[in-house]
Amino acid sequence: MKPKYTPDHPVLTPQTVDIYLSHKSILAALISNAGVLRGELLDIGCGNQPYKALFSAPPFGVTHYTGCDIANPLYQAAEMIWDGRQIPAPDQQFDCVIATEIYEHCPDYAPILREVLRVLKPGGYHFLTVPFLWPLHDVPGDYFRYSPYAIQKDMQSAGFCELTLGALGGWDSALAQMLGLWSRRRPFGRAIYRRIASSLAYFAIRYLERLDQPSHEFKNQSMPTGVWCVGRKPVE
């Protein structure tokens, strides 16, 4: 039996070449920051809560998971329903807050960052990811592609400190991701063409992902596929 594909268990096949690297890189970023994702966790924009099961096991130390999202029949009901602006929770309730691939859909996410800061306990952490190289999606509600410097500036302006940023993927992943997206999402006249393109992309991605070396340094000519960031709420 083929393993079931889920964002917390991404499997590369010719049918998943468009989403595999994105999910794999977010999963790796979450695991690499497991040390700060502990205690009471809030997942804003949680959708179908793809990482809920992940947080219930080591290396994470999450004691309670709360999903938060807008009311949407496409998603399973979240424990906490919000309006996309104000988090319906008291001050200093959570030890950590995550937001994966959400902020590009917010017309103004600066007030949301301040809300996250409000509901975090002093010393708590905010983990986020944003895409940098990705097609338009969920239109018309797709507003931004953030550089690491924009994320750094906005997190600092909101009041976060001790920021750490990293790339979700580098040059080789960027090429691999575009090949996967092209093969699965470009309009093709005949289904056989898509099958051929997806199979070729599968082998190219297997090779390119082994070469990729995402960096924590963002210089001229860097090519991140996306950005992750962790910031801490100051201890007052």
- Whether a cis peptide bond, with omega within 30° of 0, leads into 111 is no
DSSP 119: H
Coil vs helix vs strand at 2: coil
Model pLDDT, residue 97? 98
Beta strand 226-232 pairing with 161-167: antiparallel
Q: Read off φ and ψ for residue 105, nearest 5 degrees.
A: -95, 5
Q: What angle do CA 32, 34, 40 make, to 5 degrees?
A: 155
Q: Would you kindly state where each structural domain of the chain is located, as residue ranges?
A: 20-170+215-232
Please, what are the averages of pLDDT over each run of 10 residues along the chain (236 residues)? Answer: 82 97 97 97 95 93 95 82 93 98 96 98 98 95 96 98 97 98 95 97 98 90 96 94
**Segment holding 99, helix H or strand E:** strand 94-100
Q: What is the pLDDT of residue 132?
A: 97
What CATH number does domain 20-170+215-232 carry, 3.30.1280.10, 3.30.43.10, 3.40.50.1000, 3.40.50.150?
A: 3.40.50.150
- Strands 61-69, 80-81: pairing is parallel
Task: Give dist(CA 211, CA 207) in Å, integer.
Answer: 7
Q: Measuring CA to CA, how many Å separate 51 from each of 3, 6, 43, 58, 167?
A: 17, 9, 9, 13, 20
Task: Show Cβ contacts of residue 100 under 8 Å, excluding neighbours closer than 6 positions.
Answer: 26, 30, 43, 45, 51, 128, 129
Q: What is the DSSP letter of 122?
A: E
